[in-house]
């Protein structure tokens, strides 16, 4: 008896000890909803981005105010990059990630830092991203924090101290432009990580590592490799039958996985969304066509062995960048009188999908936004019925949605009480035009479409049927997944951030610097808080000492700098990346410093090589504009305006661009892409632009020399 008591005591102590260890999340905690915690990116294993907390509600939300902030400015680069992660909160500590794969652990009551992890990423990886050096979050499991770093490692950290326990290389080929921006996902005894780089031409795959030892357990290739080599596993061999054997294998094919996955512990299935093709036009990729599995698909994988259990392809024969890596939500809902275990996704292609998550059977798919590339999805075949309007091989076409999608990575949320899904929806038309000649280059955008005509609607005027066809719009869309119809939508005030649901409320940040709160049933706006910082990420909610908090990562960036809207708040306030937390009775949010208008410095003396200016413009457009934007636009708080360079920077121009002397600031060397002559041409173009804007600002009349 004494012995039994002793064993019980030891067991109790062991359980207590686990619970008191920082970052202790396990299957039991994840399955038994703990409303005061936020245990996974989507809250718990259902990934609904829903919190049952309702201390903050319709009646008192007007009293919501600032509680604390944490500066997530990182040190790899002295600019403030986009923040996209959803934090995880457990036992009073918040764990989240920032640019490059930095990890932050902070006291969830006060915002005081516990530790910060610097992944020591070589800044040259910053050149390999389509959409900023972002990171979409960490996984926390049994006292450890897992993060994918931009340069391809999966790091396992001690949740108490932030020290590295192990770090594993997940890349198969470092000569290709792979990066990691997506979050890890714990499933069974493994943690999986995917990768990014589809726009540059890589072959997507996911890798599973043992949670404890970090030993690689399996790897699943999403698209086939060159058939002259044996397929790595059965499934990718089957996928090869849906590709032309003479495909452009060098370009990688794409299919990278970088979104929020999900895991159902009862079915023991891991759900992974996969990305778009490289290059986009199938005639340059897989000339004889084919579905090109497993591009733009949802894969259900047994995490114990890495075997595919089922797959569903949202966009067969993909040619539009219709990534299917948007967040996956699990729910048990009534459909036709029966309770169904479903999986829901609103991928870029404009259709909202409801699948049986045990079998992968398509239950319904309807358009949640304007989409003209397909008329509908045939429920018998499970495939979209494509239209002529989507096919841009023979002439440029007006296509909806665009390459940024009807919905992108910003998480949608599901409220099981209203039965609605809340989607940040983008309704944007675009002109798709192929480039005339396609050559894959490892470190350049390699999509084979012409970015100069994206919004040149005059060129396709005859295709415009309705005056609204070329007018962009966006909404916070409340979507009923059972009836596949909109319940309501909010179209004003830039409703573009990820969403958080609570029983009666809906929270969303905006690029215009607001955190907004809506009535979950009606869409009525109940509260807005101005923060001065653009918010893209999804908020979370948690409770400590009986007090409910709302918290969100604020900091703008992400998609290409060329396309940032004029209403983005970073034009006015410095883009200071921070965690912002709110509670009832809170105060006004501290605003970041105002952006200082920088006067154009006098250009250095000397002749400008006018014969190089137009070549320089083209090179600037290909290599510089993705980060620095179009010359003359005021984006000083994100990246320097290169038409306002100081005399010292002009002197060091070649050393910066080719020598990489500012690589620790995030400006990597371009010596493997640009020649000395290329750099001289870019410099001539910039000197010309600076001379013109200096003259304009100082009202000097220029006399062009004609020698
Ligand atoms: Ca893409």
How many Å separate Cα 535 from the centre of its chain? 13
Say if residue 524 is in the same domain as residue 632. Answer: no
Residues 537-544 have a mean pLDDT of 98
Mean pLDDT, residues 662-671 taken together: 78
Return the pLDDT at 79: 61
Q: State which of 528, 562, 582 marks the end of a domain.
A: 582
CA dist 654 and 684 (Å) reads 12
Ligand 1 centroid to Cα of residue 664, in Å, is 27
Q: Is residue 573 part of a domain?
A: yes
pLDDT > 70: what percent of the chain?
93
Residue 595 lies in a domain: no
pLDDT of residue 672: 77
145 in the same domain as 50: yes
For residue 180, report the distance from its CA to the centre of ligand 1, in Å: 13
pLDDT reading at 212 higher than 90: yes
CB 223 within 8 A of CB 294: yes
The CATH code of the domain that includes 53 is: 2.140.10.10
Residue 633: CATH number of its domain: 1.10.760.10
| More confident site: 76 or 672 | 672
Residues with Cβ within 8 Å of 429's Cβ and at least 6 positions away in sequence, in order, are: 370, 398, 399, 400, 402, 457, 469, 470, 471, 472
The 10s digit of each residue's pLDDT in 442-457 is: 778 889 999 888 888 9
Q: Which is more confident, 661 or 516?
A: 516
Report pLDDT digits (tens) over 573-584: 998 899 999 999
Domain boundary residue, one of 564, 582, 600: 582
Coil vs helix vs strand at 157 = strand
Which of 321, 641, 678, 688 is flagged as catalytic?
Answer: 321
How many Å lie between the centroid of ligand 1 and the Cα of residue 690?
Answer: 34
Would residue 9 count as lying in a domain? Answer: no
- Residues 656 and 520 occupy one common structural domain: no
**Whose structure tokens read 């930095």?**
102
> In which domain, by residue range, is 273 found?
27-582
628 alpha carbon – ligand 1 mean position (Å): 20
Cβ distance 444 to 200 under 8 Å? yes
- Is residue 520 domain-shared with residue 640, that is, in the same domain? no
Residue 598 covered by a domain: no
Both 332 and 420 in one domain: the answer is yes
Q: For residue 525, how far is its CA from the centre of ligand 1 (angstroms)?
A: 33
Query: Can you tell me the distance from the alpha carbon of 224 to that of 206, in angstroms, rounded to the nearest whole number?
Result: 13
166 pLDDT above the threshold of 50: yes
Residue 451 sits in the same domain as residue 564: yes
pLDDT for res 705: 41
Q: Which helix (H) or strand (E) segment is 654 a member of?
A: helix 653-657
Q: Is the pLDDT assigned to residue 629 strictly greater than 80?
A: no
Query: What pTM value is reported for the model?
Result: 0.91
Is the pLDDT reported for residue 259 higher than 90? yes
Tokens 């004609």, residue? 706
276 CA → ligand 1 middle, Å = 5
Instruction: Give me ligand 1 centre to Cα 198, in Å.
Output: 6
**pLDDT of amino acid 704:** 45
**Both 308 and 168 in a single domain?**
yes
The count of C-alpha atoms lying within 13 angstroms of the C-alpha of 678, restricted to the half-sphere facing its C-beta, is: 15
- More confident of the two residues 564 and 585: 585
Least reliable range by pLDDT among 175-179, 494-498, 560-564:
560-564
d(CA 7, ligand 1 centre) in Å: 55
17 vs 271, more confident: 271
Two structure tokens written together for 670: 């371009």
What lies within 8 Å, CB to CB, of 7 at 6+ separation is: none
The rounded radius of gyration (Å) of the Cα atoms in the chain is: 25
Check whether residue 524 and residue 630 sit in a common domain.
Answer: no
Using the predicted structure, report yes or no on whether residue 399 has a pLDDT greater than 60.
yes
CB-count exposure of residue 78 (10 Å: 0-12, 13-18, 19+): exposed
Q: How far apart, in whole angstroms, are the C-alpha atoms of residue 424 and residue 489? A: 10
Cα torsion 589, 592, 597, 602 to 10°: value is: 180
Asked whether 335 and 482 are in contact (CB, 8 A), the reply is yes
| Position 156 pLDDT exceeds 90 | yes
Instruction: Give the best-scoring range by mean pLDDT among 266-275, 465-474, 562-571, 626-635.
Output: 266-275
Q: Which of 538, 569, 540, 572 is nearest to 556 (CA)?
A: 569
Determine, yes or no, domain membership for 549: yes
Average pLDDT value over all residues in the chain:
92
Residue 665 belongs to some domain of the structure: yes
| Known active-site residue 321 | yes
Closest among 568, 575, 567 to 595, alpha carbons compared: 575
Residues, CB within 5 angstroms of ligand 1 (ion): 198, 276, 321
Provide the pLDDT confidence category of residue 131 given band limits of 50, 70 and 90.
Answer: confident
**Looking at the structure, do residues 104 and 166 belong to the same domain, yes or no?**
yes
Q: What is the mean pLDDT of residues 90-98?
A: 97
Domain count for the chain: 2
Nearest alpha-carbon partner for 90 in 14, 29, 158, 166: 29
Q: Are residues 546 and 621 in the same domain?
A: no
- Residue 254 domain-assigned (yes or no): yes
pLDDT, mean of residues 116-143: 91
pLDDT score recorded for residue 129: 85
Shared domain for 567 and 623, answered yes or no, is no
CA of 194 to the centre of ligand 1 (A): 14
What's the Cα-to-Cα distance from 702 to each of 602, 687, 692, rounded to whole Å? 14, 14, 8
Is 174 a domain residue?
Answer: yes
User: 200 C-alpha to center of ligand 1: Å?
Assistant: 9
- How many whole angstroms from 666 Cα to the centroid of ligand 1? 22
363 lies in the same domain as 486? yes
- Residue 171 Cα to ligand 1 middle (Å): 19
pLDDT given at position 452: 83
Mean per-residue pLDDT, 226-232: 96
- Res. 301: pLDDT tops 50: yes
pLDDT digits (tens, 9 = 90+) for 231-247: 999 999 999 999 999 99
pLDDT in tens, 585-624: 999 999 999 988 778 899 998 888 999 999 998 888 878 8
């Amino acid at each position: 008896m004494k012995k039994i008591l002793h064993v019980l005591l030891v067991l109790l102590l062991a359980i207590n000890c686990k619970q008191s260890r920082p970052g202790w999340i396990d299957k039991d905690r994840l399955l038994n909803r703990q409303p005061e915690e936020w245990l996974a990116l989507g809250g718990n294993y259902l990934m609904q981005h829903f919190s049952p907390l309702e201390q903050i509600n319709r009646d008192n939300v007007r009293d919501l105010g600032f509680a604390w902030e944490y500066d997530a400015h990182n040190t790899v680069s002295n600019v403030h990059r986009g923040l996209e992660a959803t934090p995880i909160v457990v036992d009073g500590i918040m764990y989240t990630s920032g640019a490059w794969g930095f990890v932050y652990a902070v006291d969830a009551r006060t915002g005081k830092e516990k530790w910060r992890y610097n992944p020591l990423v070589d800044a040259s990886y910053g050149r390999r991203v389509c959409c900023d050096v972002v990171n979409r979050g960490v996984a926390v499991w049994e006292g450890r924090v897992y993060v994918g770093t931009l340069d391809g490692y999966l790091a396992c950290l001690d949740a108490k101290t932030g020290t590295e326990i192990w770090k594993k290389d997940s890349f198969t080929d470092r000569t290709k432009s792979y990066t990691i921006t997506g979050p890890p996902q714990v499933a069974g005894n493994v943690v999986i990580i995917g990768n990014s780089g589809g726009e540059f031409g890589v072959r997507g795959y996911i890798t599973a590592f043992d949670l404890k030892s970090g030993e690689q357990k399996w790897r699943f290739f999403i698209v086939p490799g060159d058939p002259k080599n044996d397929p790595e596993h059965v499934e990718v061999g089957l996928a090869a039958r849906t590709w032309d054997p003479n495909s452009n294998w060098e370009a990688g094919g794409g299919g990278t996985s970088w979104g929020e996955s999900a895991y159902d512990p009862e079915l023991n299935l891991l759900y992974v969304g996969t990305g778009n093709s490289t290059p986009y036009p199938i005639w340059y990729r897989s000339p004889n066509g084919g579905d090109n599995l497993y591009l733009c698909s949802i894969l259900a994988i047994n995490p114990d062995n890495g075997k595919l259990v089922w797959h569903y392809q949202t966009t067969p024969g993909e040619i539009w960048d219709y990534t299917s890596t948007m967040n996956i939500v699990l729910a048990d809902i009534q459909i036709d009188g029966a309770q169904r275990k479903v999986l829901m996704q609103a991928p870029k292609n404009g259709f909202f999908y409801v699948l049986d998550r045990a079998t992968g059977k398509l239950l319904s798919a309807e358009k949640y936004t304007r989409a003209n590339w397909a008329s509908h999805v045939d429920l018998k075949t499970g495939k979209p019925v494509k239209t002529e309007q989507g096919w841009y091989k023979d002439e440029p076409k007006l296509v909806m949605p665009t390459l940024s999608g009807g919905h992108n990575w910003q998480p949608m949320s599901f409220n099981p009480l209203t039965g609605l899904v809340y989607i940040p929806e983008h309704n944007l038309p675009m002109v798709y035009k192929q480039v005339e000649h396609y050559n894959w280059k490892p470190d350049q955008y390699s999509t084979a479409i012409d970015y100069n005509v994206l919004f040149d609607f005059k060129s396709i005027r005859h295709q415009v049927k309705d005056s609204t066809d070329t007018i962009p719009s966006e909404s916070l869309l409340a979507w009923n997944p059972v009836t596949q119809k909109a319940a309501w939508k909010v179209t004003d005030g830039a409703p573009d951030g990820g969403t958080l649901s609570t029983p009666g409320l809906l929270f969303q940040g905006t690029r215009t610097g607001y955190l907004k709160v809506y009535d979950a049933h009606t869409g009525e706006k109940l509260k807005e808080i101005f923060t001065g910082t653009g918010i893209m990420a999804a908020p979370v909610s948690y409770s400590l000492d009986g007090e409910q908090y709302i918290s969100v990562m604020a900091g703008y960036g992400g998609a290409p700098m060329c396309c940032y809207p004029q209403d983005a708040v970073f034009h006015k306030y410095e883009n200071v990346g921070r965690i912002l937390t709110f509670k009832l009775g809170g105060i006004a949010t501290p605003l970041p410093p105002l952006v200082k208008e920088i006067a154009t410095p006098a250009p250095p003396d000397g002749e400008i090589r006018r014969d190089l200016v137009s070549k320089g413009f083209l090179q600037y457009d290909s290599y510089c504009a993705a980060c620095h934007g179009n010359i003359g636009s005021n984006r000083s708080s994100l990246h320097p305006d290169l038409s306002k360079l100081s005399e010292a920077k002009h002197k060091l121009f070649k050393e910066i661009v080719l020598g990489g002397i500012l690589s620790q600031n995030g400006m990597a060397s371009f010596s493997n892409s640009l020649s000395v002559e290329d750099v001289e041409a870019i410099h001539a173009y910039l000197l010309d632009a600076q001379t013109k804007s200096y003259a304009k600002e100082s009202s000097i009349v220029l006399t062009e020399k004609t020698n």
